[in-house]
């Protein structure tokens, strides 16, 4: 019990003004309802991306169980209040905030591992670092993503691409069941034998579209030995490295995962590096990297090390020397030390290995960012697909991008010292990249959801869109799970 039933006083004036009886909701929750004016509100209103710091929800319900989630959905229906679901709060579009109610499941974060069956029941609000930590204690792994504080609900529903993806597939490929609250308030079990259409949609259809997920059951894998690497190359070879890397990764065994990054580090210059994680020993990795050298030449500098799963995930997360507690956001978690970030992004895909002319375009695009926005960091990250990701049929789950060589993420980020002019220059660069360099036919990744994308539904879902709309119509016929890029109901007639 978090004391929500007593927290009625603050916000009483606005309650009279709006006619929304927030106090009644607060009184009915096992968790806490946080309203403007309360001490916890500024923190509770925040998303991970500080570009959304000005969003001011009317209330944030920190749910303690699925009954709380159901009460919130019923309340928003009865009082016609808009709402958004929130797990880790990392939506690139700010879509886990709402001018109405934020239904926050971050406290539904327990991870119960069944080592015998190699499964875990995972609360929808569990953060990735805690999921990794819990399964690692049993010598098990689950493919996830890099950021330690991303929520499992957003990651798994959108896909979930990480360093074990070529070996074990996407996070969504490991969702064997889920529990959810529907728009009608029903608490349902979802899986291959019950609501199988929703189970299909929850594996790649994107968060916030169909129902409120309260937990997942994930299948786990025995922890393999892991070896990490990071190789740097002179910028003058950027286009050739990217070209060679694409040919290499497309022909590597599943055990090799890698990305290729072309980045402008602001005034520190331009950087091209190939990073990765190999499921095997450092000696075996050495053979893989010797093969890479045949495609891209020798690196200028390199780092190779064996590691266990949890430590490897911390390295990938950028919190290598920290405890698990410290790998959380400061102010949100006891002992958390990580900060928020301000960034904008676009995504695309590489369908087949590209020729040098095309990779030179990508490299020139990063040089343009360095020229036009010299004080911002940003660039392009190409994440290897293939392996287990691509062996799943594109209609077996809602995640459609099963035939790609790599995903591409373009980002730029800024800090509190960046001027509005610099941030605007980054935005112009991203717009230009979207219009002139990215091929819209390659699609986009819904977990890098992009508010500036026009043909977003086709880009995220391709041939799965019509089926997703039908699932939406069945579970949310009045479109209550709605945001700027939520899956549309089927066209009438
Ligand atoms: C620093 C960083 C690194 C990342 N690295 C990776 C990576 O390596 N691989 C990768 O695949 N992705 C990565 N991502 C993207 C990430 O997977 C998505 O942003 C993801 O959607 C975030 O999930 P969340 O729960 O944290 O976010 P939220 O903002 O809470 O949720 C995302 C969406 O899901 C909805 N949602 C949340 N909870 C629920 C629920 N319980 N039921 C129904 N809908 C819900 C929200 O309404 C929102 O629309 C990264 C993001 C960041 C910021």
Whether residue 148 has its Cβ less than 6 Å from ligand 1? no
Atom of ligand 1 nearest to the CA of 85: 47
- Residue 61, H or E segment: strand 59-62
Within this chain, do residues 361 and 446 fall inside the same structural domain, yes or no? yes
Look up the domain containing 128 and give its range.
111-222
pLDDT at residue 2 greater than cutoff 80 = no
Q: What is the CA radius of gyration of the chain?
A: 22
Residue 445 alpha carbon, nearest atom of ligand 1:
11
Place of tokens 């919190």: 319
**DSSP annotation of 125:** T
* Nearest ligand 1 atom, CA 316: 8
Instruction: Please check whether residue 301 lies inside any domain of the structure.
Output: yes
Domain C-terminal end among 104, 136, 155: 104
142 C-alpha to ligand 1 centroid (Å): 17
Give the mutation target among 155, 170, 190, 199 for probing the ligand 1 site: most ligand atoms within 8 A of CB. Answer: 155
With a 6 Å cutoff on the Cβ, whether 87 touches ligand 1 is yes
Same structural domain, 276 and 397: yes
Query: Does residue 323 belong to any structural domain of this protein?
Result: no
Q: How far apart are CA 6 and CA 39, in angstroms?
A: 15
Residue 329 domain-assigned? Answer: no
Are 49 and 116 found together in one domain? no
CA pair distance 400, 448, nearest whole angstrom: 15
Q: What is the DSSP string of 127-140?
A: BHHHHHHHHHTTTE
Q: Are residues 57 and 23 in the same domain?
A: yes
Residue 380 has pLDDT above 60, yes or no: yes
Supply the pLDDT for residue 302: 82
- Spatial CB neighbours of 490, under 8 Å, sequence gap ≥ 6: 466, 469, 470, 472, 473
- pLDDT digit string (tens) for 452-480? 999 999 999 999 999 999 999 999 999 99
Instruction: With beta carbons less than 8 A apart as the criterion, state whether 242 and 260 touch.
Output: yes
Q: Is 234 helix (H, G, I), strand (E, B) or coil?
A: coil
pLDDT at 321: 87
pLDDT given at position 13: 45
Q: Rounded to whole angstroms, how far apart are CA atoms 298 and 233?
A: 8
Are residues 31 and 142 located together in one domain of the fold?
Answer: no
> Do 187 and 127 share a structural domain?
yes
Question: Region 405-429: what's the mean pLDDT?
Answer: 95
Q: How far apart are the first and last CA of the chain?
A: 49
pLDDT at position 49 is 97
Average pLDDT over residues 119-129: 98
* Residue 465 in domain: no
Nearest-atom index, ligand 1, CA of 147: 3
Whether residue 180 is contained in a domain is answered as yes
For residue range 171-204, what is the model confidence (pLDDT) as tens digits?
A: 999 999 999 999 999 999 999 999 999 999 999 9
CA distance linking residue 283 with residue 257, whole number of Å: 16
As a whole number of angstroms, the distance between CA 79 and CA 60 comes to: 16
> Are 64 and 144 found together in one domain?
no
Same domain? 212 vs 279: no
Express each pLDDT in 298-346 by its tens digit: 999 888 887 889 999 999 999 998 999 999 999 889 999 999 999 999 9
Residue ending a domain, among 196, 222, 248, is 222
Same domain, 358 and 252: yes
Instruction: Name which residue leads in pLDDT, 15 or 263.
Output: 263
Query: Burial of 8 by CB count in 10 Å (0-12 exposed, 13-18 middle, 19+ buried)?
Result: middle
Beta carbons within 10 angstroms of residue 467's beta carbon? 17
Q: How far apart are alpha carbons 178 and 252 in whole angstroms? A: 33
At residue 16, the pLDDT reads 67
160 lines ligand 1 (CB under 6 A): yes
Q: How many domains does the chain have?
A: 3
Mean pLDDT taken over the chain: 94
CATH number at residue 53: 3.30.43.10
Confidence of residue 6 (pLDDT cuts 50, 70, 90): very low
Q: What is the CATH number of the domain that holds 216?
A: 3.30.465.10
How far out from the chain centre does Cα 477 lie?
Answer: 26
Ligand 1 near 203 CB (within 6 A): no
What percentage of the chain has pLDDT greater than the value 90?
A: 90
Ligand 1 centre to CA of 405 (Å) is 23
CA atoms within 13 A on the CB side of 8: 11
Asked if residue 27 and residue 134 are part of one domain, the reply reads no
pLDDT digits (tens, 9 = 90+) for 12-63: 446 766 789 999 999 999 999 999 999 999 999 999 999 999 999 999 999 9
Quick one: 65 and 209 in the same domain? no
Q: How far is the CA of 256 from the centre of ligand 1 (A)?
A: 25
Report the separation in Å between the CA atom of 330 and the middle of ligand 1, taken as the mean of its atom positions: 19
Instruction: Tell me, yes or no, if the pTM score tops 0.85.
Output: yes
Output the pLDDT for position 18.
Answer: 76
Q: Angle between the 128-136 and 309-317 helix axes, to the nearest 10 degrees?
A: 160
- What confidence score (pLDDT) does residue 5 get? 31
Task: Using alpha carbons, select from 146, 316, 165, 170 the residue that is nearest to residue 254.
Answer: 165
Residue 491: the pLDDT is 86
Farthest CA pair distance, the chain: 71
478 domain residue, yes or no: no
**pLDDT band with cut points at 50, 70 and 90 for residue 1:** very low
Question: Could you tell me the distance, in angstroms and rounded to a whole number, from the CA of residue 88 to the centre of ligand 1?
Answer: 6
Residue 490 forms part of a structural domain: no
Domain's final residue, options 222, 251, 282: 222
- More confident call, 461 vs 9: 461
Q: Are residues 363 and 450 in the same domain?
A: yes
Q: For residue 317, tell me if it sits in a domain.
A: no
> What is the CA(209)–ligand 1 centre distance, in A?
13
pLDDT of residue 14: 62
Is the pLDDT at 11 greater than 50, yes or no?
Answer: no
> Do the bridges between strand 342-350 and strand 406-414 make them parallel or antiparallel, or are there none, so unpaired?
antiparallel
Residue 17: other Cβ atoms inside 10 A: 7
CA-CA-CA-CA dihedral for 142, 250, 397, 477, to nearest 10: 110
Ligand 1, residues 44, 64, 96, 142: which to mutate, most atoms within 8 A of Cβ? 96
Q: Tell me, in angstroms, the distance from the centre of ligand 1 to residue 2's CA.
A: 25
Compute the distance from residue 162 Cα to the ligand 1 centre, in Å: 13
């Amino acid at each position: 019990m978090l004391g929500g039933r007593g927290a009625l006083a603050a916000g009483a004036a606005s309650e009279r003004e709006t006619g929304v009886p927030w106090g009644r909701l607060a009184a009915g929750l096992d968790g806490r309802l946080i309203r403007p004016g309360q001490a916890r509100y500024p923190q509770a209103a925040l998303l991970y991306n500080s570009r959304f710091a000005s969003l001011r929800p009317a209330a944030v319900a920190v749910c303690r169980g699925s009954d709380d989630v159901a009460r919130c959905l019923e309340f928003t229906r009865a009082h016609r209040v808009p709402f958004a679901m929130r797990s880790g709060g990392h939506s690139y579009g700010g879509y886990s905030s709402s001018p109405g109610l934020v239904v926050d499941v971050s406290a539904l974060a327990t991870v119960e591992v069944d080592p015998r069956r190699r499964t875990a029941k995972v609360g929808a609000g569990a953060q990735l670092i805690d999921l990794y930590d819990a399964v690692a204690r049993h010598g098990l792994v689950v493919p996830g993503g890099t950021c330690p504080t991303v929520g499992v609900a957003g990651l798994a529903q959108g896909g979930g691409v990480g360093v074990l993806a070529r070996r074990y597939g996407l996070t969504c490929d490991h969702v064997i069941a889920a529990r959810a609250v529907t728009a009608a308030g029903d608490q349902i079990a979802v899986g291959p034998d019950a609501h199988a259409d929703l189970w299909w949609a929850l594996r790649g259809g994107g968060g916030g579209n169909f129902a409120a997920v309260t937990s997942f059951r994930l299948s786990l894998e025995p922890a393999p030995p892991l070896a990490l690497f990071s190789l740097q190359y002179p910028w003058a070879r950027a286009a050739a490295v990217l070209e060679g890397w694409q040919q290499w990764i497309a022909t590597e065994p599943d055990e090799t995962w890698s990305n290729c990054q072309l980045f402008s580090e602001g005034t520190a210059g331009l950087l091209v590096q190939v990073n990765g994680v190999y499921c095997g020993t450092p000696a075996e990795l050495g053979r893989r990297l010797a093969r890479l050298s045949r495609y891209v030449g020798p690196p200028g500098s390199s780092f190779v090390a064996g590691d266990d799963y949890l430590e490897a995930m911390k390295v990938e997360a950028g919190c290598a020397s920290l405890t698990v507690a410290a790998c959380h956001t400061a102010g949100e978690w006891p002992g958390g030390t990580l900060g928020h970030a301000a960034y904008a992004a676009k995504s695309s895909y590489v369908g087949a290995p590209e020729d040098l002319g095309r990779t030179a375009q990508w490299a020139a695009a990063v040089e343009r960012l360095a020229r036009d926005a010299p004080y911002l960091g940003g660039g392009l990250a190409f994440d290897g697909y293939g392996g287990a990701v691509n062996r799943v049929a594109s209609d077996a789950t809602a995640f459609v991008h099963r035939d790609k060589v790599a995903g591409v993420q373009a980002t730029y980020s800024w800090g509190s010292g960046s001027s509005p002019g610099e941030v605007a220059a980054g935005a112009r660069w991203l717009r230009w990249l979207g219009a002139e360099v990215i091929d819209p036919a390659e699609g986009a990744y819904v977990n890098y959801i992009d508010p500036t994308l026009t043909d977003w539904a086709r880009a995220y879902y391709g041939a799965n869109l019509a089926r997703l709309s039908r699932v939406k119509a069945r579970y949310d016929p009045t479109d209550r799970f709605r945001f700027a890029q939520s899956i549309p109901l089927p066209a009438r007639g």
